[in-house]
Amino acid sequence: MFISFFFSHWLGFVYGVMRSNSPITQRVFANATWLQRWSGITGLLGERPIIYEVLNPEQDHGEAQSVFVEVELKNGLGFYSGQLSQFAIVKDDEPHKPIYLIDVWFKKVRGDEYESIETDGVMIDLAEAATLLVKKVDAKADASAAEAQSSPTQEQIAELAHKFWVDAGCKDGTANEDWLRAEQQLRQQ
């Protein structure tokens, strides 16, 4: 009984010390790697906010990711979806948590189709969000998928080159020029 009483009070004391914002506890616990090595406890006063970890575009091993979000606003104000460009979140208990989305899409209700918004970006305060869906994609895979999507296929190039050849009166010796012109035109689209 005494051991249980002593242990619970000791834990309460340690928790209270760790939660206080005095300069001494901040200095001792802010970078508490010694405590992690000694006891396996991670986090404490130096830990980053949960929302920061969710939105952070870097993986544990430092590689960048593209972060895409869907934000449902409170009071039925609609849904925004786009790529996260920036966010300013320092603490979980902050009243305002602004995020900036680029390549933004909007829909009024869940069943609607998204429509692109012609803007450079949208700033949203997560304090006004009812739900937040987050999708992280490896930036290298995302870039190669976008490149593959923008690169024309051999069949597309051949079809357009053939059209150029026919339009020019089926002249001999223009195959390379027609091919390069078709490839360039398709890449620009």
| Least confident piece of the model among 12-21, 124-133, 172-181 | 12-21
Ordered alpha helix ranges (H), 47-138:
50-55
Query: What residue spans define the domains of the chain?
Result: 2-46, 50-139, 151-188
Q: Look at residue 7 and tell me whether its pLDDT is greater than 70.
A: no
Contacting residues for 181 by C-beta, under 8 A, at least 6 apart: 161, 164
Residue 70: per-residue pLDDT: 92
Q: Which CATH architecture has domain 50-139?
A: Roll (2.30)
Return the pLDDT at 132: 87
- Section 30-40 average pLDDT: 54
User: Are the C-beta atoms of 58 and 123 separated by less than 8 Å?
Assistant: no
Which pLDDT does position 160 carry in this prediction?
Answer: 86
Reported as a single tens digit per residue, the pLDDT across 60-97 is: 566 777 888 999 999 999 999 999 888 887 666 777 88
pLDDT exceeds cutoff 90 at 151: no
Which stretches of 45-162 are assigned E, i.e. beta strand? 65-73, 79-87, 98-107, 115-116, 122-125, 129-138
pLDDT over 90 percentage in the chain: 16
Whole-number Å distance between alpha carbons of 154 and 9: 73
- How many other C-beta atoms lie within 10 A of the C-beta of residue 84? 20
**Higher pLDDT pick, 53 / 123:** 123
